[in-house]
Amino acid sequence: MILAISLVVAVVFGSGAFLVLQRDLFRVVVGLTLISNSAFLFIIAAGLTQGTAGFAQGAVPILPIPDSYMASDPLVQAMALTALVISMSTIALLLSLIYRLYVAHETVDLEDISEAEMRLAEALEREEEPEQEGEPDVGQAEEEIEKRSR
């Protein structure tokens, strides 16, 4: 049982970590959801030291509990529930941030977004050029940025 749960936690966490490293922002959020879920599984597993979940024994764990009944720890389940709500709110927030970026750039790919930002920064620099003509390194820096963006 311990091995099975640890394997599940590891696989879920690993797939989440893989997705977080992608460039697509939606995949990042899905990956984070998976990673949080692996943590909840881990919490539940932390309380499975004695007995099994109530439904497996055909009884509901409400007082008075029969002597033969081994109840698993209810506290961890309450903890998992709390953490679940917190994670859901954060994921919702992340999705709204992605939507905001999508509205601005019409893409959710991290590279496209940073390219667009680079172009914006260059445009700003060009506008300010007349003021900074005394500094020779501005032009050079601009050329460098252009080279990199190509």
Partner 1 sequence: MTGSTLLLLPVGFPWVLAVALALLDGRRPWVGWLAVAGLGASLVSAFLLVHRILREGPVEMVTGGWPAGVGIVLRADVLGATFAVVSVGVILVSLVYEVFVGVRSRTFPTLVLFLAAGLSGLFLTGDIFNFYVFFEVSMTAAYVLTGYREQDYQVRGAFIFAVVNLLGSVIFLIAIAALYHVTGTLEMASVAERVREVNPNSLITIATAIFVAFALKLGLFPFHFWLPVVYVGSHAPVAAILSGALANIGNYGLLRFGGEILSEELALGAMAVLVLGSASIIYGALQAISRRDVSEVLAYSAIGQVGYVLVALGIGGAIGLSAAVIYAVVNSLNKALLFLVAGLRGPLVGAAFAVGAFSLMGVPPAVGFIGKIAVFKAGLTASGVVQVAILVALIFLGSALSFVYALQIYQRAFLSKEPQGGLWRKSSPWTARALVVALAALVLAMGLWPEPLLVLGEGAASTLIEGGSP
Q: Which residues of the chain form contacts with partner 1 (CB under 8 A)?
A: 20, 25, 28, 32, 35-36, 38-39, 42-43, 46-47, 49, 75-76, 79, 82-83, 86-87, 89-90, 93-94, 97-98, 100-101, 104-105, 113, 117, 120, 128, 131, 134
Give whichever of 59 and 88 is closer to partner 1, judged by the CB atom. 88
Q: Which is nearer to partner 1, 23 or 59 (CB)?
A: 23
Contact 46, 74 (CB under 8 A): no
Least separation, in Å, of the C-beta of 1 and partner 1? 14
At its nearest, how many Å lie between partner 1 and the CB of residue 102? Answer: 11
- What whole-number distance in Å separates Cα of residue 43 and Cα of residue 23? 30
Closest approach of partner 1 to the CB of residue 20, in Å: 7
Q: Kindly report the CA angle at 37 between 34 and 43, in degrees rounded to 5?
A: 150
Residue with Cβ nearer partner 1 (15 or 87): 87
- 64-86 core/surface letters (b: 16 or more CB in 10 A; e: else): eeeeeeebbeeebeebbeeeeee
Residue 2 Cα distances to 7, 49, 57, 61, angstroms:
9, 10, 19, 23
